[in-house]
Chains A and B, each alone.
Chain A
Amino acid sequence: MAHPFIPVLVFFAVALAVPIGALVLARLWMNFFTPIKRGKEKNALYECGLEPIAESQTRFHSQYYLFGLLFLLFDVETVFLLPFAVTFLDLSVGAFVVAMLFLLLLAEGLLWAWSKGLLNWRGSQKSNFTIYGD
Chain B
Amino acid sequence: MAIDPKLAGELKPAGIHVTSFESLINWGRSSSLWPMQFGLACCAIEMIAATMAKYDMARFGAEVFRPSPRQADLMLVAGTVTKKMAPLVVRLYNQMAEPKYVIAMGACAISGGPFKQGYNVLKGIDRYIPVDIVIPGCPPRPEALLDGLLALRKKIAGEKLIGDHRVRHADPKGTAEFPVPEYGAHDLQPAANREIWNPDPVVHEEAAD
Contacts and interface: CB of A to CB of B under 8 A. Distances in A.
Interface residues of A, number: 16
A89 B99 CA distance: 67
A34 B180 CA distance: 23
Contacts of B176: 37-39, 42
Interface of A: 33-42, 44, 46, 48-51
Given A49-B88, A49-B89, A51-B91, 6 more contacts: A33-B170, A34-B169, A34-B170, A35-B98, A42-B176, A44-B95
Given A40-B177, A46-B69, A46-B70, A34 B98 contact: yes
A41 B95 contact: yes
Contacts of B89: 49
30 contacts: A33-B161, A33-B170, A34-B99, A34-B169, A34-B170, A35-B98, A35-B169, A35-B172, A35-B174, A36-B98, A37-B174, A37-B176, A37-B177, A38-B176, A39-B177, A40-B177, A41-B91, A41-B177, A41-B180, A42-B95, A42-B176, A46-B69, A46-B95, A48-B88, A49-B87, A49-B88, A49-B89, A49-B91, A49-B92, A50-B91
B85 to A, nearest CB: 8
Secondary structure at chain B's binding surface: helix, strand, loop or mixed? helix
B10 to A, nearest CB: 29
Contacts of B161: 33
B169 A37 contact: yes
B120 interface: no
A51 B183 CA distance: 13
B35 to A, nearest CB: 16
A36 B98 CA distance: 8
Given A33-B161, A48-B88, A49-B88, A39 B94 contact: yes
Contacts of B68: 46
Contacts of B95: 41-42, 44, 46
B25 A33 contact: yes
B100 to A, nearest CB: 10
Contacts of B25: 33
Contacts of B87: 49
B88 A41 contact: no
B54 to A, nearest CB: 29
B132 interface: no
